[in-house]
A and B are shown apart, each in its own frame.
Chain A
Amino acid sequence: MLRSSLISAGVALVLFVTISYVPAGAQAHNQPEYARSAHAYRTPAVSLIDAREHTVDFAAAVAQEEMVIISLAFTSCTGTCPVITANLVQALPELKRIGNRYRIFLVSLDPEHDTPARLREYQARFNTGEKITLLTGSRTAIHDLLRAYNAIYPGGNKMNHQPLTLIRAGKNAPWIRLEGLVSGSDLAREVRLAIEQAGAISTIY
């Protein structure tokens, strides 16, 4: 009981810090580039497939990583997805400096079109490297995943999706939700901040 109260207090503290936080990029351009919030999501137990056609138990894959970043895209998307992916790749060197115990999951919003073969082409095109795992799966599994992270796109149409990045900086940390395009350097800064906040929570309980 005391423990759950302390966790709630920790999450509330994170939420408070979040609400009062304005991204640095936003200050420079006087307009927010993305919105930030903290949430307690339950990772869905769905079975996905990676680019090597291996089955991935998503909940287990997320649980085994110290830090996880999740983003969403699809391979035929021509507008925002190339930027989302390039931003993740751009963040890799900085994330490596922060620490190597992390994984980025880039989940397809168009699973029936994005076969493992197409994911491999996409990997090669953006040179995503070892730390970014591209995932696809059944329509139902992807839908369950989107629902769990409150990422269902408007009108049931993936073309209406919006850029979304989720960061979980520690195994017991809340999910930091970034809505909008997040540049590589902004992502690295958000990761640092999320780690600090996760540390603050872990010292409470």
Chain B
Amino acid sequence: MFKYCAHIQIKCLTALFAGLLLQFSLPVQAFPQGDAAKGKKLYEQGVGHNGEPVYAVGQNGLTFQGEDATCLRCHRRSGFGGSEGGYYVPPIAAGFVYRPSRRDRNDRFRAAFLEAQNIQHWVRVRMPRARPAYTTATLAEALREGRNPSGTEFDQLMPRYRLDDRDVANLAAYLATLSKAASPGVDDHFLHIATVVSHGVEPGARDSMLASMQAYVKWYNERLYSDIAHESSARAYGMDVRSSTRLWKLHVWELDGRQEKWRDQLALYQRQQPVFAVVNGMVNGSWAPVADFCDEMELPCLFPLTELPQRERESGGYNFYYTRGLELEADILGVYLKNMRNRPERVIQLHDTSRYGVEPASRLAGQLAARLPEIRIRTIAFDTPQELEMLLRGLGERNEPDVGIVIWGEPDSDSILKALLHSGVKDSPVFVPAHVIRKRMTRNNGDLLSPLLGNLHITWPFSLPQAYQADAFRVRGWMRSRGLPINHEQVQLLSHYGMNVLRDSTRHLFEHYYRDYLVERIEHEVESSQHPGIYPSFSLGPEQRVMSKGGYVLTPDATGENAFNVAADWIVP
């Protein structure tokens, strides 16, 4: 073992010495003054100073250009690199490129110990990488020839770039700024996080979410205090990570008034005390104003409890969601109708005038027009529950089996279910989103739903009601031991999960508290995270922002054995 370590050290010293020699022996080359803004364009978009796509040659003559040749693809927006496919991509942010590489365990601790990687990755992370600080000249050589200032050849995954001196200078200028200043919301002692609640949300659910989050922060800080008080015996690696740990402070950002006013309120909160990330949260109506603010401020907003997420972006940005909400349910229904054996010839959509009604109705109409042009669809808006009852009663009187009835409306209201139960609709298939029935989820709902047995269909973007949720058992225990009554289980389990993801992701950051880096760690780690099973599984990837991507269609169970039967297995539209 000693012999091996000595060998590695000799290799490091030799490489360092060779690097120093190389540096002094390089002809002095004058590079033009770099433009960091143009360097950023090259880094992120693969566009050179002349507006042309950059060009690079990879393994065995493979060529890449423009978007396929950006630095961002592997080294990521933060410049902290990462790991993927068993390859270790080293950091190239300002704090790394322009200083000699040092043997700092923390810098490689994440890649070496916190990820379940294969043996090739394990070896790559531990390879000696001693080198002096880069200069523009050695950076040019690294980019063009694939050699670091010590003369070590880069891995085959790093292409060799055809860049002129101006592009190299621009990139060098940008790298000197990349992730240089720590993101707002972190100081030497505290990591500030916020959650967002608005007026008009169900008070019980809001209080349960806040209580769960406050209990989590208290628990987290107590553990940290304990580590600080017992440095030598602190959990894992205690002493070395102390400098990178922060106590958490939770801020509750309460919004009121019309949604148009929310941006100013959020900006005021952020000015008073900047936060590093927003976690969980619930608002009345669309999450879009909060999501826009988070994108504008480049502030990670993690897992709001919403059915109306901001979906203007196909990918990227700073907002992570559990699902696409009601848009997903409309898409699931579109696929289900397409595959349905006794498909209705006509569909009548009834929706209220809130965004919970209008948005999914418009989405489904678009889906059916594109996928099933043979189905005639009619969409009717209603203003009040009485109006809905009247419309449904009319449809109940006609009771046509070839007419499908779809109803969209505000959540947390029994009005849709009540109107349906009294409508007399027996033969027409009826389709509703999960929130219409979710609160009535009991094993023996056969009696309640008996008037609708055989024709009610529910889109269900969650785990099956009868699924066993192992981690939920553990989290419920955690909550009970802290005296938290479990009265809004889904909200509480998901709130706890959001905090867990933040904890695990920030653990990967060590002292590098950069918001872009946090986003990248979440993208990377969510698939490995323990979750309470509200959704069957989570996965993300680079620039992906929605963790659960499908859903079931359920029908009430006539036997009372289960709450519901599965009419369609997991659909990913």
Q: Which of A2-10, A14-22, A80-88 contacts B (4 or more CB under 8 A)?
A: A80-88
Q: Closest CB-CB distance, A137 to chain B, in whole Å?
A: 10
A184 to B542, CA, bound (A): 26
**Would you list which residues of chain B between 531 and 573 have a CB under 8 Å from chain A?**
537, 539, 541-544, 549-550, 570, 572
> Which residue of B68, B73, B541, B543 contacts A74 across the interface (Cβ within 8 Å)?
B541
Q: Is residue B60 contacting chain A, with contact meaning CB distance below 8 A? A: yes
Is B115 in contact with chain A by the CB < 8 A criterion? yes
Structural contact, A112 and B89, CB atoms closer than 8 A: no
Q: Which among A37-45, A59-67, A153-161 touches the partner chain?
A: A153-161
Rounded to whole angstroms, the CA-CA distance of A184 and B117 in the bound complex is: 26
The answer to whether B68 and A180 touch across the interface, beta carbons within 8 angstroms, is no
Instruction: Confirm or deny: B59 has a beta carbon within 8 angstroms of a beta carbon on chain A.
Output: yes
- Chain B residues near A112 (CB-CB < 8 A): 539, 549-550, 572
Q: Is A183 touching B85 in the complex (CB atoms < 8 A)?
A: no
A162 at the interface (CB under 8 A from B): yes
Interface residues on B, range: 35 or more
- Tell which of A77, A110, A115 touches B84, judged by Cβ atoms closer than 8 Å: A77
| Shortest CB distance A56–B (Å) | 17
Q: Chain A contacts of B315 at CB under 8 A?
A: 76
- Asked whether, in the complex, the Cβ of B528 is within 8 Å of the Cβ of A157, the reply is yes
Expressed in whole angstroms, the Cα–Cα distance for A139 and B62 within the complex equals 32
Question: Which residues of A53-111 are within 8 A (CB) of B?
Answer: 74, 76-84, 86-87, 90, 110-111
Contact partner of A181 (CB less than 8 A), chosen from B59, B84, B115, B523, is B59
Kindly provide the distance from the CB of B561 to the nearest chain A CB, expressed in whole angstroms: 24
Measured CB to CB, the closest approach of chain A to B558, in angstroms, equals: 28
Contacting residue for B156 out of A154, A159, A179, A181, CB 8 A? A181
Q: Are A160 and B60 in contact (CB under 8 A)?
A: no
> Is A23 among interface residues, defined by CB-CB distance under 8 A?
no
B48-87 contact mask (Cβ, 8 Å, vs A): 1 or 0: 0000000000111110100010001110000000111111
A113: interface (CB < 8 Å): yes
Q: Are A113 and B60 in contact (CB under 8 A)?
A: no
Do residues A79 and B541 form an inter-chain contact, with CB atoms below 8 A? no
Shortest beta-carbon distance from B547 to chain A in Å: 10
Interface string of B518-529 (1 = CB under 8 A from A): 000001110110
Docked CA distance A109–B498 (Å) = 25
Minimal beta-carbon separation of A165 from chain B (angstroms): 13
How near does chain B come to A194, taking the closest CB pair, in angstroms?
19
Shortest CB-to-CB span from A157 to chain B, Å, is 4
**Shortest Cβ distance from B68 into chain A, in angstroms?**
6
Q: Please tell me if the beta carbons of A154 and B118 are within 8 angstroms of each other in the complex.
A: yes
B527-A162 in contact (CB<8A): no
A190 at the interface (CB under 8 A from B): no
Q: Assuming the A-B contacts A156-B528, A160-B115, are A83 and B539 also in contact, with contact meaning beta carbons closer than 8 angstroms in the complex?
A: no
Chain A CB within 10 Å — which of B68, B74, B572 has the most?
B572
Q: How far is the CB of B58 from chain A (nearest CB, A)?
A: 6
Most buried by A among B118, B121, B157, B541: B541
* Cβ-defined contact, B524 with A159, below 8 A: yes
Q: How far, in whole Å, are A86 and B74 apart by their CA atoms in the complex?
A: 16
Q: Say whether, besides A155-B528, A157-B525, A160-B118, A76 and B85 are in contact (CB < 8 Å).
A: no
Q: How far is the CA of A158 from the CA of B544 in the complex (A)?
A: 13
Given the interface pairs A90-B62, A159-B84, A162-B86, the reply to whether A76 lies near B118 with Cβ below 8 Å is: no
Contact A154 B116 (CB under 8 A): yes
**B120 at interface (Cβ–Cβ under 8 A)?**
yes
- Give the contacting residue for A78; candidates B58, B83, B542; CB below 8 A: B542
- Across the interface, which residues of B come within 8 angstroms of A183, CB to CB? 59-60, 62
B542 touches A76 (CB 8 A): yes
* CB of A91, distance to nearest CB on chain B (Å): 10
Decide if A185 is an interface residue (CB 8 Å cutoff): yes
Q: Contact: A76 with B544, CB < 8 Å?
A: yes
Give Cα A152–Cα B118 distance, bound, in whole angstroms: 11
Q: A residues near B, CB below 8 A?
A: 33, 74, 76-84, 86-87, 90, 110-113, 115, 138-139, 154-163, 179-181, 183-186
Residues of B within 8 A of A (CB): 58-62, 64, 68, 72-74, 82-87, 89, 115-118, 120-121, 156-157, 315, 523-525, 527-528, 537, 539, 541-544, 549-550, 570, 572
Question: Which 9 A-B pairs rank lowest in CB-CB distance, beginning with the nearest?
Answer: A155-B116, A80-B85, A183-B60, A162-B86, A76-B541, A79-B84, A78-B73, A157-B527, A154-B116
Beyond contacts A77-B85, A112-B539: 19 other A-B pairs, Cβ-Cβ < 8 A, are: A78-B74, A78-B542, A83-B157, A110-B539, A113-B549, A156-B116, A157-B524, A157-B528, A158-B527, A158-B539, A159-B523, A160-B86, A161-B85, A180-B120, A181-B59, A183-B59, A184-B60, A184-B62, A186-B60
Complex A-B: 11 CB contacts under 8 Å: A76-B542, A76-B543, A78-B73, A80-B84, A82-B68, A83-B58, A113-B549, A139-B537, A163-B86, A183-B59, A186-B60
